[in-house]
Amino acid sequence: MQDQGIRPLVLVIMGVSGCGKTTLAEGLHNLLGWPYQEGDLLHPRANVEKMAAGIPLTDADRLPWLQTCRTWLHERVVSGQGGILTCSALKRSYRDLLRADGNEGIVFVYLEIPEAVLSDRLKRRRGHYMPPSLLPSQLATLEAPTADEHPVVVHLEATPADLIAETLGLLKQEFPQP
């Protein structure tokens, strides 16, 4: 693990599709050395097929995925070595489920990006099953985290390097190495 002046944390990089979750998670993983899990890879096959067909997921569809994400997070919490998971975590109830059963200390990093930027990113993205047509349903589902959830909120439209640097700075400020 590399010392970046941050104590080991278990992070959930959250937000709608196209906001930069994977880019940020990979960048933080490279800098911090914490284990990283791409949440999209934890979706059941039926969910992937549904999204690829342009059909929004329901809460019932998301439940097994969120439970798998929660299990991964719990393993990281127990290890004490930190971890990074990408997960849209669009609703408070989803975040509450991820935090349950010993995961109370996980930190949500919310990527808040303007809709026009998101739309442009999704139109240019290749090789992902999530079509741009599902962005409106994700935005309609999104319940931005509130202050009582203690999220780290990143408001950025800049380059990936800027996104990573901004987030790292916020984490250093909020969770310094003891």
Q: Which residues pair with 6 in a beta bridge?
A: 176
Distance separating alpha carbons of residues 59 and 161, to the nearest angstrom: 34
Dig out the tokens for 104 from the structure: 């109370």
CA terminus-to-terminus distance, the chain: 15
Supply the pLDDT for residue 126. Answer: 58
Calculate the alpha carbon distances from 94 to 23, 85, 155 in Å.
22, 14, 22
Which contacts qualify for 125-130: CB closer than 8 Å, 24 or more apart?
Answer: 125/18, 129/48, 129/51, 129/52, 130/17, 130/18, 130/40, 130/51, 130/52
Tell me the per-residue pLDDT of 41-97, one tens digit each, with 9 for 90 and over: 999 999 989 988 888 889 999 999 999 999 999 999 999 999 999 999 999 999 999
**Residue 152, helix vs strand vs coil:** strand
Residue 136 has pLDDT above 90, yes or no: no
Q: Which residues pair with 110 in a beta bridge?
A: 14, 153
